[in-house]
Amino acid sequence: MNKETDFSEWYNEITEKAMLTDKRYQVKGTNVWLPYGWKISLNIDRIIRDEMGNNNHDEVCFPTLIPETDFNKERDHIKGFTEEVYWVTKAGGNDLDVNLLLRPTSETAMYPMFSLWIRSHADLPLRIFQIVNTFRYETKQTRAFIRVREMHFFEAHTCHATYEEAEEQIKTDLDIMNKIARKLCIPYIVCIRPDWDKFPGAKYTLGIDTFMGGKTLQIASIHQYGDNFSKPYNIMFEDLDGKQKHVSQTTYGMSERLVGAIVGIHGDAKGLVLPPSIAPIQVIIVPIYTKENRIRVETECNELLAIIKNDGIRADIDKRDIRPGNKFYYWEEKGVPIRIEVGEREVSSHAYIIKKRTGGSADVGMKTASSIIKKVLDDISDTLFENAKKTMDNIIIEIDKRDAIKDTEGIVKVPWCGSESCAHELENIPAFKIHGIPYVEETIDSKNRKCVVCNKQFKNHLVMARTF
């Protein structure tokens, strides 16, 4: 398996070999989370929960089933999802009076409740999130963690007194995104999606994309709904001036695609490379013993394990009766950040060599093991992020000739006049997708830039790339 020459095959193979998922489940596009993969996912959930808690969001859990009648209240929204919805039409032996759908996302489940919860300005802002599974009947080819029909999903929903306060929330969401992505060592770009590609029902959508295997992968999105949902769902509050007003709403979503991104961005020919923040095992200790010194070596391993676990490091000893070389191979494939071999020399010296999954090593003694290991884990995290960031920065290229786009690898930034017709022209380039305009356009010389389609005055860059 070669990541560079056949990313797709490499990705599919590694997700199975590292025992993250089993794709042989009997319903197409829904996979079994195996223990190792699920631990990674729970660790990501923990990071998300911590960040959302720090930012005044309460966690809730809404039902999976949504009545067709509530779903139908927001026309644009239902139009966007109608081809992707699973329908429950029977229960027991009976046809249901009102069909129920499995949530593809929870606006239409939550907002009828919001209209009961919110009465006055004192109830605002309302900030909640949930981590649940959602269901979309994907018609495109499915792929583990990236395009699945049952998806592990995070969704935050907020309500505000004014559109401006909702705008502030979106800035906070981008800060949260920044912190979470840094912990997962994932670089990304933020684009304002084109109007014709925004989330159904949104005023505008921010798409957050990373890059791997020659394509972008959307890993998060943030939406400004304004009053697009609060009007049909009647979510109103009495303001300080005594008037009834509709709330302004935002949402922020992420999913198990974060697992896919971690696999795809950091992995290599040997297997996974896991960011320390979410590695189920951060340090694997491998005993190297002969018949004679087995007990001494295992005692040393146990002592070291007890010390570093006590200091909050996730660690284990591989005591299996297989050859050390096989253990090295096994834990490299699983992406464990640090390996420590303990043999006769280590028993004598109580000193060890830390081998980093990202290359290189460091020396530690037993007494200072925890503090140095923590520092090395931070170093590994920095290395992973910086390498990924550098790679991503390098493949973002400005292209000012329309014909050159189709042959470009990476993410292209195309000078554009701002007209929808020119954008639609660019959409005809095979495999390339318009991601929108940069959320923050860097300071550039706009005078000398012309639209690559009509040659009129530059207004924005359009970001384009092949995408998953």
- Binding flag, residue 64, a second copy (CB under 8 A): yes
- Binding flag, residue 56, a second copy (CB under 8 A): no
Strands across the sheet with 215-226, in order? 58-59, 126-135, 150-160, 248-255, 215-226, 204-212, 189-192, 432-438, 460-466, 411-416, 396-398
Whether the CB-CB separation of 71 and 78 falls below 8 Å is answered with yes
Among residues 109 and 417, whose Cβ is nearest to a second copy?
109
- Binding flag, residue 38, a second copy (CB under 8 A): yes
Q: Which of residues 11-30 bind a second copy (CB under 8 A)?
A: 22, 24-27, 30
State in angstroms the smallest separation of the CB of 344 from a second copy: 30
Taken as a whole, the chain contains a residue count of 468
Phi and psi torsions of 197, nearest 5°: -130, 15
- Binding flag, residue 322, a second copy (CB under 8 A): no
State in angstroms the smallest separation of the CB of 20 from a second copy: 11
State in angstroms the smallest separation of the CB of 410 from a second copy: 34
Take residue 121 and report the two structure tokens written for it: 């300005």
Among residues 102 and 423, whose Cβ is nearest to a second copy?
102
Q: Which amino acid is at 437?
A: I
DSSP string computed for 159-170? EESSHHHHHHHH
CA 247, chain centre distance (Å) = 28
Which secondary-structure segment (H or E) carries 420?
helix 420-426
Q: Which of residues 252-291 bind a second copy (CB under 8 A)?
A: none
Axis-axis angle for helices 257-266, 35-54 (nearest 10): 110
Relative to beta strand 432-438, strand 460-466 is antiparallel
Q: Which of residues 148-187 bind a second copy (CB under 8 A)?
A: 150, 152
* Neighbouring C-beta atoms of residue 404, cutoff 10 Å: 13
Provide the 3-class DSSP secondary structure of residue 159. Answer: strand
Q: Which of 63, 312, 360, 365 binds a second copy (CB under 8 A)?
A: 63
State in angstroms the smallest separation of the CB of 23 from a second copy: 11
Q: Which of 55, 78, 112, 121 binds a second copy (CB under 8 A)?
A: 112
- Binding flag, residue 50, a second copy (CB under 8 A): no
**In which region does residue 191 sit, left (phi positive, over 0), alpha (psi from -120 to 50) or beta (all else)?**
beta
Q: Which of 54, 72, 120, 139 binds a second copy (CB under 8 A)?
A: 139
Q: Which of residues 66-105 bind a second copy (CB under 8 A)?
A: 66-67, 69-70, 82-93, 100, 102
Which secondary-structure segment (H or E) carries 422?
helix 420-426
Q: Which of 9, 13, 59, 393 binds a second copy (CB under 8 A)?
A: 59
Contact residues: a second copy, CB under 8 A: 22, 24-27, 30-35, 38-39, 41-42, 58-67, 69-70, 82-93, 100, 102, 109, 112-113, 116, 128, 133, 135, 137, 139, 150, 152
